[in-house]
Amino acid sequence: MRFYRPTWAEINLKNLEYNLSQIKSRVTPGTKILVTVKADAYGHGLIPVSKRLCSRAVDFFGVASIDEGIKLREAGIKTPILILGLILKKDIAPLFKYNFSTTVCDEELPRALDNMARKLKKRINLQVKVDTGMGRIGVLHYDAYGLVRKISKLKYVNIEGIFTHFAFADLNKDFTFYQIDLFDRLVKRLNKDGISIPLVHAANSMGLLDYKNSHFSMVRPGL
């Protein structure tokens, strides 16, 4: 689609690399980094931005949709990709084909994934999104424990991650600390009961700058 508007953004990719190195210097070594590149990398250009950053030890890319993920794979990017948005059951085939991790927040999608994985004899990764107050995507925090237990019984899916998202990290510290606490307690309870999930993450850009106790095992800078 061609737009006839005399506006453009000029991105200095060297500065972008510098920003990533600043992020790395603010997290404990070993903390993984998922770079959020949804919406054409915030209008900065999905492919040039992702290509430049994936040479810099990015652990994951986060995209909103399967289509964005396919664009990354078609550009030759092999970095793990998490689809942050929800997808429909009928659209799960590309997850296997392109090796995407997907976000789940109910039982239905994991069951569909488990069925297809069994047929293809190929395990599939998923990450459980928990709603601690954002009110957008996610299983409500008080239902999350039960959901994770149920999903953990499925043979062909691997719960690779669990995450939540802040509603107003820039505006309301008390509420953000409350969200971190709810999430932390959930993860601890799961651990105590023998369910340990490798990727635990909550922090968007604001979270990672202002709330050190929100870093867990991965951070998700975007802005």
The H-assigned helical ranges of 160-213 are 173-192, 205-210
Q: CB under 8 Å to 43, separation ≥6 — which residues?
A: 9
Q: Select the residue interacting with ligand PLP from 72, 77, 84, 162 (CB under 6 A).
A: 84
Residue in the block written with tokens 């550009």: 75
Q: Does 132 bind ligand PLP (CB under 6 A)?
A: no
Q: Select the residue interacting with ligand PLP from 132, 179, 204, 214 (CB under 6 A).
A: 204
Cα–Cα distance, 32 to 201 (Å, whole number): 9
Q: Does 215 bind ligand PLP (CB under 6 A)?
A: no
Classify 5 as helix, strand or coil: coil
Site for ligand PLP in 164-203 (CB under 6 A): 165
Q: Does 66 bind ligand PLP (CB under 6 A)?
A: no
Residue 70 CB, shortest distance to ligand PLP, in Å, is 18
Q: Does 94 bind ligand PLP (CB under 6 A)?
A: no
Q: Does 220 bind ligand PLP (CB under 6 A)?
A: yes
Site for ligand PLP in 141-160 (CB under 6 A): none
For ligand PLP, the nearest residue by Cβ is 222
C-beta of 32 vs 117, nearer to ligand PLP: 32
Q: Does 110 bind ligand PLP (CB under 6 A)?
A: no
Cα–Cα distance, 138 to 129 (Å, whole number): 5
The H-assigned helical ranges of 29-101 are 38-43, 46-54, 66-74, 93-98
Residue 103 CB, shortest distance to ligand PLP, in Å, is 8
Q: Does 32 bind ligand PLP (CB under 6 A)?
A: no
Instruction: Give the phi and the psi of residue 29 in degrees, each rounded to 5.
Output: -55, 140
User: Within a 10 A sphere around the Cβ of 2, how many other Cβ atoms?
Assistant: 3
Q: Does 222 bind ligand PLP (CB under 6 A)?
A: yes
Among candidate residues 90, 145, 154, 146, the one with its CA nearest the CA of residue 126: 154
Q: Does 36 bind ligand PLP (CB under 6 A)?
A: yes
Q: Beta 60-63 vs 100-104: how paired, if at all?
A: unpaired
Binding site for ligand PLP (CB under 6 A): 36, 38, 84, 165, 204-206, 220-223
